Structure 1
């Protein structure tokens, strides 16, 4: 059943990406429908008897699901149609991955209830910084569009022309980064606590821990630079994308290598 729901959500996301900009109310309704179908599929697929399903596909799919929710909420206050052109195709792609790469079950029996909250906060952190990365890409495209204003707009250009001013977009970006940074900080701290419970060490310096800490440092440097040196524009975009790429490697990328390339389970 969940496989049908995943593929249905992907089709609705794809249809939403192709809808003309003028159908704003229709876009909002279709986005909500796709999000609900996708959420139902995730709920059915992630839960299991005494455990929760983990893996790069389910993680990426959940992150895009929450990113769609963030887009839908932001789009009610600001015209972010260009963001739809980026998020919806990625959400459609992510929705079809869990049936193809099911991952493995992580048994929760005997684990502290707070361990489940660690997983939830981690997914929220990934999701918030995912939508921030989309936002940064959109700002880069918007800035590039300013230099080619006289050119024929095309499919994406017309949507970019309707975005709020770059300063407004930048405020939205840093709001997302602050939220994501707080969630990422909680993820790293709770990871240290549960690493000690699970492995007898305060922190295992494996690839996931190293990339997560590097990502935290990059986002911290960006926020400090923003406050003290007024960093903005291309500098802010580079730090955002670098921090997101490192964070993606921390879990989604490493799990992809383990599951798809090395054919290994939980690690």
Structure 2
């Protein structure tokens, strides 16, 4: 059953990613998830699919990926987890958010990054299966903490991809437009599928605001869980230090946005730095322990 879901998830994500890239390499071709009226295109390009078909296929991929995560992370009354599962869950949440956003904004350019990354992340547990089985997975407080934490990671993952796209789009707009137009037509076409920078910026800080709320709840539930199971509210290990650091960095970003109107490249780089700190808090630390040091961690 597991291998069937792995194969189905990879095929759906991969097929949508390939169809999207082929459509954008063909001049004037609409994306399968585009929410704007398509531009007339050659018959071969128009055959790539309709927005409705693309959304249905992506929904099927999300359902398959979600079921796969559930049956592999929660076998029986235990919990199996590791950095590969964390990345898979993070990009599943990111793909879910992208699917919802695609109904309201033309974000097919973002999908060209999200879909292949989600497909790759979904397969990573096959290669990195050396995970720790948690004996307290049935505890309601731990499950609450786990779900909130992964929702926060998913929101910040899609926000980081937003920031990357905005950096590319802004750089092209200000310094490289003539170069890209002359020597990288399909890259220019890809960037042109994005909404205006102001729209992307609004979406970005909406995602960061929601993610920050969930990250705050993650830290609070983590403190409560640690006190209940370990007898102390905080363990100042690498995971806790980087989690608190990322929370402080996102808090500073939101405060600077609200008070001083932070925007542009400096704000985008701050977003990426904060996301890297968040990755190091859990995914990065698990990678070091499980893959490099071959030590299981909780």
TM-score bracket, normalised by the shorter chain, equals over 0.9
1:229-248 matches, within 5 Å, as 229-248=260-279
58, 80, 83: which is aligned to 2:85? 58
75, 84, 98: which is aligned to 1:48? 75
Distance across 1 between alignment mates of 2:167 and 2:56: 28
Q: Are 1:83 and 1:138, in contact at CA under 8 Å, matched by a contact in 2? A: yes
Distance across 2 between alignment mates of 1:155 and 1:43: 38
- Decide which moves more: 37-46 or 250-259: 37-46
Q: Are 1:6 and 1:96, in contact at CA under 8 Å, matched by a contact in 2? A: yes
Unaligned runs of 5+ in 2: 25-29, 34-50
- Decide which moves more: 208-217 or 95-104: 95-104
For the pair 1:200 / 2:252, whether they are aligned, the reply is: no
- Decide which moves more: 60-69 or 191-200: 191-200
1:108 deviation in Å? 2.6
Once the two structures are superposed, what CA deviation does each residue of 1:71-130 show, in whole Å capped at 9, x if it has no partner? 011011000111011111111110111122222321236x64122101110111111101
Once the two structures are superposed, what CA deviation does each residue of 1:45-83 show, in whole Å capped at 9, x if it has no partner? 111221122111111101111100100110110001110
Unaligned runs of 5+ in 1: none
- Decide which moves more: 96-105 or 143-152: 143-152
CA RMSD after TM alignment: 1.6
Distance across 2 between alignment mates of 1:99 and 1:208: 24
SS in 2 for 1:149: helix
Structure 1 stretches of 4+ moved >4 Å: none
1:1-267 matches, within 5 Å, as 1-19=1-19, 20-21=23-24, 22=30, 23-24=32-33, 25=51, 26-102=53-129, 103-108=131-136, 112-147=139-174, 148-150=176-178, 151-152=181-182, 153-267=184-298
Distance across 1 between alignment mates of 2:104 and 2:82: 34
1:7 deviation in Å? 3.0
Distance across 2 between alignment mates of 1:222 and 1:143: 19
SS in 1 for 2:296: coil
Distance across 2 between alignment mates of 1:37 and 1:194: 30
Distance across 2 between alignment mates of 1:64 and 1:98: 13
Distance across 2 between alignment mates of 1:141 and 1:28: 26
Distance across 2 between alignment mates of 1:85 and 1:256: 26
Relative to the length of structure 1, the TM-score reads 0.94
Distance across 2 between alignment mates of 1:47 and 1:112: 12
Once the two structures are superposed, what CA deviation does each residue of 1:130-154 show, in whole Å capped at 9, x if it has no partner? 1100111011111122243341454
Question: Would you say how many aligned residue pairs link Structure 1 and Structure 2?
Answer: 266
Relative to the length of structure 2, the TM-score reads 0.85
Distance across 2 between alignment mates of 1:4 and 1:130: 27
